[in-house]
């Protein structure tokens, strides 16, 4: 899945869930970044309330339900910087993807 596909799926999920009142950045390392704010997802390296560092492959596994978010965090596959409560609130977004 490329970043454009991820952005499209995130925008659909944000619209379905009513969006988020905080900003979130998914940092895929060399594969780029995706920023969420309100009801918009876009490819951007903008600052955010919460930054989630994860490989793109692991992100796709998280979004599809193949990888448990807590297990990813505990095993170091997913790292959170900033407001942890924002990351915890993203489960409803993933269930909409």
CA distance 62 to 67: 5
For strands 20-27 and 50-54, give the pairing: parallel
User: Residue 96 has what pLDDT?
Assistant: 63
Nearest to 88 by CA among 76, 70, 61: 70
Mean pLDDT, all residues of the chain: 92
The single residue listed with the structure tokens 């915890």 is 88
Q: Could you give the count of Cα atoms lying within 13 Å of 50 in the half-sphere of its Cβ?
A: 20
Indicate the pTM of the whole model.
Answer: 0.92
For strands 40-43 and 50-54, give the pairing: unpaired
Predicted confidence band of residue 19 (pLDDT cuts 50, 70, 90): confident
Domain range list for the chain = 3-96
State the CB neighbour count (10 A cutoff) for residue 58: 16
CA distance 94 to 89: 10
Give the pLDDT confidence of 35-70 residue by residue, as tens digits: 999 999 999 999 999 999 999 999 999 988 899 989
3-96: what fold?
Nonspecific Lipid-transfer Protein; Chain A (3.30.1050)
């Amino acid at each position: 899945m490329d970043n454009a596909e991820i952005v499209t799926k995130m925008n659909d999920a944000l619209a379905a869930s009513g969006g988020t009142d905080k900003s979130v950045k998914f940092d895929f390392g060399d594969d780029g970044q995706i920023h969420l704010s309100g009801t918009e997802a876009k490819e951007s390296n903008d600052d955010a309330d919460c930054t989630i560092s994860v490989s793109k492959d692991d992100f796709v596994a998280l979004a599809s339900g193949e990888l448990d978010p807590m297990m990813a965090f505990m095993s170091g596959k997913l790292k959170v910087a900033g407001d942890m409560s924002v990351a915890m609130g993203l489960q409803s977004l993933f269930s909409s993807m």
